[in-house]
Homo-oligomer: A and B are copies of this chain.
């Protein structure tokens, strides 16, 4: 009996253990030999490639171009922006030797690229005609984390980091918000992960930013996951690195910059938003395989009847752009295959046996509705359309279900007692007029932090649940990953 045959621990029993098992057993990722590093296996990487494509085309539609920047940054660069170095210094990986020699100046492996970007843009920008610069990088970065968890927090992780420079503050403001909207659209419409777009409190801001916007999602255990951020860097990095340009009136000005990123952490969001006790459930739009075909036969003559039909159906579906896996492994039973692909979260299972061949039918089973409820027998006639409709339904159902769960576990609380109860199982939505110290106090007492001030504010005012002062903003509190 291998690991694969063991039952998963249930989410209710031990959400953390369930998560780790799903990641490993669904073949998404594995541990690397250096503590805290991650190997993304082919199935996990195919999911990441689909995420990349969905984001990349959205970026490009806003005029962004990709580029490649070095992973090595002189240590001195980090020190140029005071808050930035304070935030990142404790997490740096440092290269001290190269080519057998000790280096004159130590080099850091990028934890993020604002500094090398600042240095470079300063060289590239002379005139307002050189602006805006709209660049995105697909790469990996290194942060020396002590407590790591696959996808959520690893020593090296994959992401995209966008870096823009503008002639005016208004343009930088607009870009910061525009990229948050891109993330929101991606999360909701591709990943079926309902997110709350909002602004971070000062305490949770990116090191060196004037403003950090975020999308926050609720995981299956009620905790929050910060799933993507967009930073308005004001003129902080432009001043630190001298990104200056002559404006239309020939006056020297500092540029305004932004940065924004979304990482493989988002795979964690997908797992913990949609998964159930049988394993992963992948949203059809991002799933590496949208349909798995399991041929069912015992005798050789049945196989001869079933396999050609299964292959024909595979070809028909693939020709329509549906991502299909035909599981023709000979040494495994259909039952084993059902469990295996359930664990791996394929949205639709298509079963075909000898009687289906005769009756010109197939069975379709929905991953999001296990058991009879999600199973139907349909004709092979018009199968492409049937499957496409089903995939659309599953995508919509996953979003509706996650939204419902999130809303059911978000509570408007009036006082600290209600607050404490709310953040044990979900989000607390409150009027807030506290300062940094009050926020810190709450974190120490409840482990909950301000996840964001939602962009969608009700307006008007209320009473701060904690300080009792008049408040003008609603905040979402939660315990976070």
Q: Which residues of A come within 8 Å of B, CB atoms?
A: 30, 32-34, 37-42, 44-46, 48-49, 65-74, 77, 89-100, 106-107, 109, 116, 119-120, 123, 129, 135, 139-140, 142, 144-146, 155-156, 158, 331
Contact = CB atoms under 8 A, between A and B. Distances in A.
Contacts of A142: 71-72
A387 to B, nearest CB: 22
Q: How many copies does the complex hold?
A: 2
A408 B262 CA distance: 52
A68 B40 contact: yes
Contacts of A97: 92-94, 96, 106
B65 A116 contact: no
Contacts of A91: 99
Given A49-B66, A94-B96, A146-B99, A120 B71 contact: no
Given A33-B116, A120-B39, A68 B95 contact: no
A41 B89 CA distance: 28
Nearest to A106: B97
15 contacts: A30-B123, A32-B70, A32-B120, A33-B120, A34-B70, A40-B67, A42-B65, A45-B66, A46-B65, A71-B71, A72-B142, A92-B98, A92-B99, A93-B107, A99-B146
Given A96-B94, A116-B32, A39 B74 contact: no
B135 A42 contact: yes
Nearest to A126: B2
A39 B70 contact: yes
Contacts of A49: 66
Given A71-B140, A92-B97, 12 more contacts: A30-B120, A32-B70, A33-B77, A33-B119, A45-B67, A46-B65, A68-B140, A72-B93, A90-B99, A93-B107, A95-B95, A99-B144
A37 B68 contact: no
Contacts of A156: 70-72
B30 A70 contact: no
B68 A48 contact: yes
Contacts of A70: 32-34, 37-39, 155-156
Contacts of A66: 42, 45-46, 49
Contacts of A42: 65-67, 135
B90 A100 contact: yes
A42 B97 CA distance: 31
Nearest to A94: B97
A99 B48 CA distance: 28
B331 A34 contact: no
Nearest to A77: B33
A69 B32 contact: yes
A428 B158 CA distance: 46
A-B pairs, 9 with minimum CB distance:
A99-B144, A42-B65, A40-B68, A37-B70, A32-B70, A94-B97, A98-B144, A34-B72, A96-B96
A85 to B, nearest CB: 13
A153 to B, nearest CB: 13
A193 B90 CA distance: 48
Contacts of A67: 39-42, 44-45
A46 B67 CA distance: 8
Nearest to A156: B70
Contacts of A38: 68, 70
Residue with the highest number of chain B CB atoms closer than 10 Å, among A69, A74, A135:
A69
Nearest to A32: B70
A36 to B, nearest CB: 9
A53 to B, nearest CB: 11
A321 B158 CA distance: 31
A296 to B, nearest CB: 21
Contacts of A71: 71, 109, 140, 142, 156
A40 B39 CA distance: 26
B68 A45 contact: yes
Residue with the highest number of chain B CB atoms closer than 10 Å, among A38, A46, A109:
A109
A106 B146 CA distance: 17
B98 A93 contact: yes
Given A32-B70, A49-B66, A67-B39, A95 B94 contact: yes
